[in-house]
């Protein structure tokens, strides 16, 4: 067995380094999500570390299609944001929504486009290449089904960021990812209420989704 130490994720390092942790909280604005994540990863128990390594293997392997390390995770997130931004742009042009409803759709779409811009810039900063936007198509049959799809998309986006967080190595990228995750979660809560669901369907603690699950869910929308 190799004696080379396993590279720690940013979450693990932050949980164990008080100086880095203070800097991280300054970047995230001290969000509850950030605190909960650090508490969850703060146990130095060897069994916990082994379990984390095993459960993240699939995601680490899948990330390679987008690039290595943090670049791969950023490009993975960017691909999801491309789809979200394209979805809202198509919905806004569909004519299914008017007035305040249309304004909300446009507001959400603008946020997703800003995520695209930020993640594209981050991928470039990491040395690229930057993931290209996939061609996408969405079923836009009626307002009700579109809102239900929007809720599904936003809940999936929030779960994707949470699921990938433990793989991120750079604390600043982790802070940015959690910042976006928070917005995705707020979008999801609004849409959940609009479609008659609980605002937080999983209760007090959100659940992350692995890359395999997320990519399988979005595949039908990629032309």
Please report which confidence band the pLDDT of residue 62 belongs to, taking 50, 70 and 90 as the band edges.
low
Please report which confidence band the pLDDT of residue 53 belongs to, taking 50, 70 and 90 as the band edges.
very low
Could you report the per-residue pLDDT of 114-134, keeping only the tens digit for each?
A: 999 999 999 999 998 999 999
| b/e code 102-117 from CB counts within 10 Å (16+ = b) | eebbeebbebbbebbe
- Of residues 133 and 62, the one with the higher pLDDT is 133
pLDDT of residue 68: 86
- Of residues 128 and 111, the one with the higher pLDDT is 111
Is 57-221 assigned to CATH 1.20.1260.10? yes
Q: How far are the Cα atoms of 4, 17, 32, 33, 200 from residue 204, in angstroms, in the given order? A: 38, 27, 12, 11, 7
φ, ψ of residue 32 in degrees (nearest 5): -60, -40
pLDDT of residue 40: 46
Could you report the per-residue pLDDT of 72-94, keeping only the tens digit for each?
A: 999 999 999 999 999 999 999 99
What share of the chain in percent tops pLDDT 70?
Answer: 71
Closest CA relative to residue 76, chosen from 39, 119, 29: 119
pLDDT of residue 26: 54
pLDDT of residue 2: 46
Could you report the per-residue pLDDT of 138-148, keeping only the tens digit for each?
A: 999 999 999 99
C-alpha angle 139/216/193, rounded to 5°? Answer: 55
Q: In the predicted model, what is the mean pLDDT of residues 150-179?
A: 94
Q: Per-domain residue ranges for the chain?
A: 57-221
pLDDT of residue 51: 39
User: Is the pLDDT at 42 greater than 50, yes or no?
Assistant: no
């Amino acid at each position: 067995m190799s004696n080379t130490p396993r590279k720690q994720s940013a979450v693990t390092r932050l949980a164990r380094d008080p100086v880095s942790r203070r800097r991280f909280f300054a970047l995230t604005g001290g969000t509850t999500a950030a605190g909960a994540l650090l508490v969850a990863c703060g146990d130095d128990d060897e069994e916990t570390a082994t379990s984390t390594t095993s459960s993240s293997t699939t995601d680490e392997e899948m990330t390679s299609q987008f690039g290595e390390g943090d670049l791969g995770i950023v490009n993975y997130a960017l691909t999801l944001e491309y789809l979200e931004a394209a979805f809202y742009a198509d919905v806004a042009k569909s004519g299914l929504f008017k007035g305040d409803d249309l304004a909300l759709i446009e507001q959400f779409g603008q946020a997703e486009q800003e995520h695209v811009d930020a993640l594209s810039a981050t991928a470039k900063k990491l040395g690229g290449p930057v993931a290209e936007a996939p061609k996408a198509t969405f079923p836009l049959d009626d307002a009700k089904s579109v809102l239900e799809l929007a809720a599904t998309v936003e809940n999936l986006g929030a779960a994707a960021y949470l699921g990938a967080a433990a793989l991120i190595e750079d604390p600043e990228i982790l802070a940015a990812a959690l910042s976006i995750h928070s917005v995705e979660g707020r979008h999801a809560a609004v849409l959940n209420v609009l479609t008659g669901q609980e605002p937080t369907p999983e209760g007090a603690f959100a659940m992350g989704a692995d890359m395999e699950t997320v990519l399988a869910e979005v595949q039908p929308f990629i032309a």
